[in-house]
């Protein structure tokens, strides 16, 4: 009668697991993946598959031969890193560059800190930013959405890059005195390139694989909220900050600054706010901390986009706030009883 299990309370568990959360995030990424396949065709599937496979392989090799642990590649976290890395790449990227990105993401971003749960920076973003700095040409060549059409890919810039370049050329033209067209306002630039809000919402524009279809990303957000995988605080804090900040700029000078909707639906803002900034490991633990973190990401993103030299600022903003997360955790304690 003494083969009874002895253990401390509690004796029940709610059945949640690391896998359920990780695969839940992957399910939430499915709508965006479908959109990227519709817009970018086979290339989207190939880039994503290579990225995921490379992440899994590198994680396995590092765990098995460098860290001498039992590989835990099927916990879902490496797959998420692979998908998110792919979602941050243009479809035309050479596949060997994808593999390098995966190696940096998993090797440097994750495993060098001790694996899942110990990394400070979002691994997929570490990979992405490494590639952006190392391979700037390949990383900013954006084929416009062609679906499965077999015609030669037409490359174009992302809406953010278009606006940034046009605004910059306003400045140089004014300086050189060449005023053939005259300075263009943001709305004129967008109209000239045929960029409309519905296009941005559905993702019909140049950009990385997973960032183009805002509506698909929002569906994923709703799913994760419903499953209680994440809370609403971080994405909402980012959205609100970007809306308020760009709204003020836009009201102050509509010629020079694009409106909130443009900023909300372009670049990696949706993808970053919903899927990258909410990464458990690298984001704060309390709701108050989540607000500070989200506001920080929002402010930094707009600052980089509007005043910095890069057209897109989401990746840098998230990485910077990842670095501040331990400090935020230290300052923001949960509400006391």
Partner 1 sequence: MIKKPLKYNTVLKTFKIGGVHPPENKLSAQAPISVLPLPEQVIIPLSQHIGAPAIPTVKKGDRVKAGQLIGQAAGFISANIHSSVSGTVVGIDSVTDASGYARPSVIIKVEGDEWEDTVLEKAEAKKPGDYSKEEIIKAIAAAGIVGMGGATFPTQVKLSPPPGNKAETLIVNGVECEPYLTADHRLMLEHGEELMTGVQLIMRALDVRRAVVGIENNKRDAIELLTRLAAQIPGVEVCPLKVRYPQGGEKQLIKAVTGKSVPSGGLPIAVGAVVQNVGTVYAVYEAVMKHKPLVERVVTVTGKAVKNPGNYLCRIGTPISKLIEAAGGMPEDTGKVISGGPMMGKAVMSTEIAVTKGTSGVLLMRENESRRPAYRNCIRCAKCVSACPMGLEPFRLMLLSEQGLTETLEQERVMDCIECGSCSFTCPAHRPLLDLIRLGKNRTGQMIRARKAKNQ
Q: Which residues bind partner 1 (CB under 8 A)?
A: 1-2, 4-14, 16-18, 20-21, 72, 75, 77, 115-118, 231, 280-286, 333-337
Of residues 299 and 332, the one with the C-beta less far from partner 1: 332
Give the nearest distance from C-beta 83 to partner 1 in angstroms.
17
SS3 state of residue 138? helix
Between 193 and 288, CB nearer to partner 1:
288
- How far apart CA 123 and CA 282 sit, in angstroms, is 9
Which H, E and C letters describe 141-166, residue by residue?
CEECCCCCCCCCCCEECCHHHHHHHH
* DSSP-assigned beta bridge partners for residue 155: 143
Contact 81, 106 (CB under 8 A): yes
Q: Quick one: how far is CA 306 from the chain centroid?
A: 18
* Closest CB 116 distance from partner 1, rounded Å: 5
d(CA 303, CA 35): 29
Q: Which is nearer to partner 1, 6 or 180 (CB)?
A: 6
Q: Minimum distance from CB of 151 to partner 1 (Å)?
A: 45
* Smallest gap from residue 227 Cβ to partner 1 (A): 12
Q: How far apart are CA 143 and CA 146, in angstroms?
A: 8
Nearer to partner 1, 8 or 149 (CB): 8
Q: Which two tokens stand for residue 324?
A: 């501040």
Shortest separation between residue 279's beta carbon and partner 1, angstroms: 9
| Positive or negative: CA dihedral 86, 90, 95, 97 | negative
In the complex with partner 1, the residue whose CB is nearer, 307 or 337, is 337
């Amino acid at each position: 009668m003494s083969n009874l299990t002895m253990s401390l309370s509690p004796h029940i568990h709610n059945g949640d697991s690391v896998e359920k959360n990780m695969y839940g995030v992957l399910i939430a990424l499915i709508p965006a993946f479908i959109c990227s396949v519709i817009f970018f065709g086979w290339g989207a599937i190939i880039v994503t598959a290579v990225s995921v496979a490379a992440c899994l392989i590198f994680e396995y090799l590092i765990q098995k031969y460098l860290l001498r642990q039992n590989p835990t590649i099927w916990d879902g976290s490496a797959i998420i890193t692979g998908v998110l890395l792919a979602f941050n790449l243009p479809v035309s990227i050479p596949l060997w560059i994808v593999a390098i990105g995966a190696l940096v993401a998993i090797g440097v971003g994750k495993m060098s800190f001790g694996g899942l749960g110990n990394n400070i920076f979002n691994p997929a973003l570490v990979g992405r930013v490494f590639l952006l700095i190392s391979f700037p040409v390949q990383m900013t060549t954006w084929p416009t959405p062609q679906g499965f059409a077999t015609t030669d890919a037409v490359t174009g810039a992302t809406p953010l890059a278009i606006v940034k370049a046009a605004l910059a050329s306003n400045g140089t033209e004014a300086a050189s005195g060449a005023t053939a067209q005259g300075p263009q306002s943001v709305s004129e630039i967008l109209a000239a390139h045929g960029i409309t809000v519905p296009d941005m919402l559905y993702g019909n524009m140049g950009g990385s694989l997973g960032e183009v279809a805002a509506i698909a990303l929002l569906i994923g957000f709703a799913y994760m909220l419903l499953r209680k995988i994440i809370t609403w605080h971080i994405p909402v804090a980012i959205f609100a900050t970007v809306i308020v900040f760009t709204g003020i700029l836009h009201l102050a000078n509509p010629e020079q600054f694009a409106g909130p909707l443009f900023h909300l639906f372009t670049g990696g803002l949706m993808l970053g706010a919903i899927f990258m900034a909410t990464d458990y490991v690298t984001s704060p633990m309390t709701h108050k901390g989540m607000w500070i973190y989200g506001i920080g990401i929002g402010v930094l993103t707009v600052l980089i986009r509007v005043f910095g030299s890069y057209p897109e600022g989401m990746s840098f903003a998230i990485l910077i706030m990842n670095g501040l997360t331990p400090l935020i955790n230290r300052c923001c304690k949960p509400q006391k009883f």
